[in-house]
């Protein structure tokens, strides 16, 4: 315990030095930038952030999660006071601190929010957290919800707004992206998808709406047909798809509330083909440095792909078992040349697509084109393309 305490003290001392020499953040820029700081890479992420504070207006420590019974877990250990010095220095520079509360269990979310007593208890718990820790506000990231939760999630946001706004605290809402129905199938049905988030309610109660315009994969069937037919195409965020996501949000949400979520990570897939279907099995995620190291290890230089990201593919004898069906995606396609070549040699094809500063710049330009509030990056872990800081202008 003593060793850990000393290490934390040394880290924050170093971060304090970086903060002392950082340029002051300009007051209220017309286009805002924020980053999520992940608890699993907290120290490296905070150290990197400390060196680039003049690029940021807001930081959301990805620090809290809801566990059984609707209780709060402090993964970043903000409550033990070890982060207070760093947060105080950020506040002095005018950088807002709005931690994220994450919850990914749809059934549990419904169970808590559908009952007035437990829903209101959670609203009080969150308000008390914001006040006691002197945060500027809170970011709600509840995912995997079903449409049955929709009215209760709206009541939850209303309750939070009623508690936070009189105190001058902001409510940020992080939401999953919606792909237009016409892009989900080449022969779309007229059935309207049922969502758990009411965009009109988000616009009414949330001060900031962060659209997670990433994890595209193969969801946009129209783009798969045009860009992925006979080619490898499973991007994290193609700007063409991102534009569709933004337009859907703009139909109901004030553009000055929308922050475009931009990814700093990529994915590796095992790709196969059979009977007119290309199958992508997601194996793992990669940081920018991790992807570049993998490319270097197999002797390949990543190139810009049709989605505007960096990518590379190679043949290997490696076989990965145990990939769940939820991470396996099928696309109607002619056989990609590299898959045919690998198969002929009795090998597998591995494919990686990942963002860098250039792809981030394209998405920032898109956000500015639509007049959005700003851009929010997931995630600032000290391992994304360093040049990305330079495009936050």
CATH number of the domain enclosing 379: 3.20.20.80
| CA distances from residue 151 to 155, 197, 202, 209 in whole angstroms, order as listed | 6, 9, 12, 18
* Same domain for 222 and 81: yes
Task: Tell whether 335 and 202 lie within a shared domain.
Answer: no
Same domain (yes/no): 143, 69? yes
Helix, strand, coil distribution of the chain in percent, nearest 5: 45, 25, 35
Give the pLDDT of residue 301: 98
Residues 201 and 254 in one domain: yes
Query: Within this chain, do residues 253 and 284 fall inside the same structural domain, yes or no?
Result: no
Same domain (yes/no): 131, 28: yes
Report pLDDT for 194: 85
Give me the pLDDT at residue 14, please: 45
Pair (56, 189) in one structural domain: yes
Is beta strand 208-211 parallel, antiparallel or unpaired with respect to 310-316? unpaired
Instruction: Judge if 50 and 190 occupy the same domain.
Output: yes
Burial class from Cβ neighbours inside 10 Å (0-12, 13-18, 19+) for residue 306 reads middle
User: Both 289 and 153 in a single domain?
Assistant: no
How far apart are alpha carbons 286 and 316 in whole angstroms? 18
* 70 and 152 inside one domain: yes
For residue 190, what pLDDT is reported? 65
Q: Which domain holds residue 277?
A: 270-352
Q: Are residues 195 and 328 in the same domain?
A: no
Task: Determine the pLDDT at residue 192.
Answer: 75
Domain count, the chain: 2
Intervals of the chain under pLDDT 50: 1-15, 17-28
On whether both 256 and 335 belong to a single domain, the answer is no
Q: β-strands 170-175, 265-274: how paired?
A: unpaired
Bridge partners (DSSP) of residue 64 are: 74, 101
Please give the model's pTM, rounded to 2 decimal places: 0.91
pLDDT, tens digit (0-9, with 9 covering 90-100), for 267-325: 999 999 999 999 999 999 999 999 999 999 999 999 999 999 999 999 999 888 888 99
Question: Any residues with CB less than 8 A from the CB of 56 and at least 6 apart, and which?
Answer: 25, 33, 34, 35, 49, 95, 392
Of 30, 81, 35, 86, nearest to 56 by C-alpha is: 35
Q: How far apart are CA 107 and CA 65, in angstroms?
A: 15
Give the angle 172-177-182 at the CA atoms, nearest 5°: 150
Nearest CA among 356, 360, 377 for reference residue 212: 377
């Amino acid at each position: 315990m003593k060793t850990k305490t000393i290490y934390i003290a040394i880290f924050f001392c170093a971060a304090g030095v970086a903060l002392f020499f950082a340029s002051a953040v300009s007051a209220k820029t017309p286009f805002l930038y924020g980053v999520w700081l992940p608890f699993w890479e907290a120290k490296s992420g905070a150290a990197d952030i400390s060196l680039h504070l003049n690029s940021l207006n807001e930081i959301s420590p990805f620090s809290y999660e809801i566990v059984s019974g609707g209780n709060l877990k402090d993964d970043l250990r903000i409550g033990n006071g070890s982060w207070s010095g760093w947060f105080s220095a950020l506040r002095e520079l005018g950088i807002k601190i709005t931690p994220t509360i994450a919850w990914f269990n749809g059934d549990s979310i419904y169970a808590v929010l559908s009952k007035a007593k437990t829903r209101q208890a959670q609203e009080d718990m969150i308000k008390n957290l914001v006040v006691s820790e002197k945060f500027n506000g809170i970011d709600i990231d509840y995912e995997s919800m079903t449409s049955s939760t929709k009215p209760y999630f709206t009541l939850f946001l209303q309750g939070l707004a009623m508690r936070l706004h009189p105190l001058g605290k902001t409510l940020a809402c992080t939401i999953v992206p919606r792909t237009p129905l016409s892009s989900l199938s080449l022969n779309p049905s007229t059935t309207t998808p049922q969502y758990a988030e009411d965009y009109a309610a988000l616009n009414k109660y949330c001060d900031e709406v962060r659209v997670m315009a990433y994890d595209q994969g193969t969801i946009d069937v129209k783009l798969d047909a045009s860009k992925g037919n006979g080619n490898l195409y499973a991007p994290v965020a193609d700007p063409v798809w991102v534009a569709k996501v933004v337009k859907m949000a703009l139909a109901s949400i004030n553009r000055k509330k929308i922050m475009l979520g931009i990814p700093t990570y990529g994915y590796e897939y095992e790709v196969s083909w059979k009977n007119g279907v290309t199958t992508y099995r997601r194996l793992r995620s990669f940081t920018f440095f991790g992807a570049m190291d993998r490319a270097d290890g197999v002797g390949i230089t990543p190139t810009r792909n049709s989605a505007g990201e960096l990518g590379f593919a190679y043949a290997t004898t490696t076989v990965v078992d145990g990939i769940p069906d939820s991470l396996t995606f099928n696309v109607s396609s002619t056989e990609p040349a590299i898959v045919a070549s690998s198969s002929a040699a009795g090998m597998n094809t591995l494919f990686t697509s990942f963002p860098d500063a250039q792809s981030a710049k394209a998405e920032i330009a898109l956000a500015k084109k639509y007049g959005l509030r700003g851009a929010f990056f997931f995630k600032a872990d000290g391992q994304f393309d360093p040049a990305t800081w330079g495009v936050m202008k």
